[in-house]
Amino acid sequence: MPKVIRIFFWGILISFLGSLPLGTLNIAAMQIGIQESIKDAIFFSFGSLTVEMIYVRISLVGIDWVRKQKKLMKIMEWITLAIIVALAAGSFIAAARDGEHAKNIMFNNNMHRFLLGMFMCAINPVQIPFWFGWSTILFTKKILEPKPNQYNFYIVGIGIGTLLGNCVFIFGGKWMVQRIANSEHYLNWVIGGIFAITAIIQLIKIILHKDAITKFS
């Protein structure tokens, strides 16, 4: 198997598995898919994976510059925390409203879902140390080499893996809602709880200096 194909599949595998744990972006994609449409959720996913691919490219070729942006990354972490809290509140408000199709107020805007995905991914610095760590492992194992064609295949694989991981949540959430009566109403409570727990964990990590910036340093 050509080396570029092998690194392509490594990118898909790492990104797919990394997208499966509950997180802000995949849960948001699922909620958009349930409350709006599959198309909007896919657009959101494409937006987020586009920024993720850009971040990976930067981590591969400009890691020294990224390391120096600690203040910017700290600001991004607090903005991310604020958005997660707002998403949790929006889900709880939607759940408390009468009617099965109450929508998270955070998604009551005219921003194109591709741009929304880009924005939410851009302010989330967690993925930078994640991909720096995995790329370092692949470099150490001689699986990935500092060659432009390998970088390109690796990054495309990452994008595909992220999309596949998000699709598990998007189509899985839609499938569940279609088969369980009044499930969308209860799902708002569940999603709100997930966002709330995520926000608490994020805050604890920031306070205890165990956040993405510390890992990256």
Q: Where are the domains of the chain?
A: 3-216
For residue 145, what pLDDT is reported? 87
Q: Give the side-chain half-sphere CA count within 13 A for 173.
A: 27
Record the pTM: 0.81
Report residues of the chain scoring pLDDT below 50.
none
How many C-beta atoms lie closer than 10 Å to residue 19's C-beta? 25
For residue 44, what pLDDT is reported? 95
- The secondary element (H helix, E strand) that includes residue 155 is helix 148-179
CA distance 178 to 187: 12
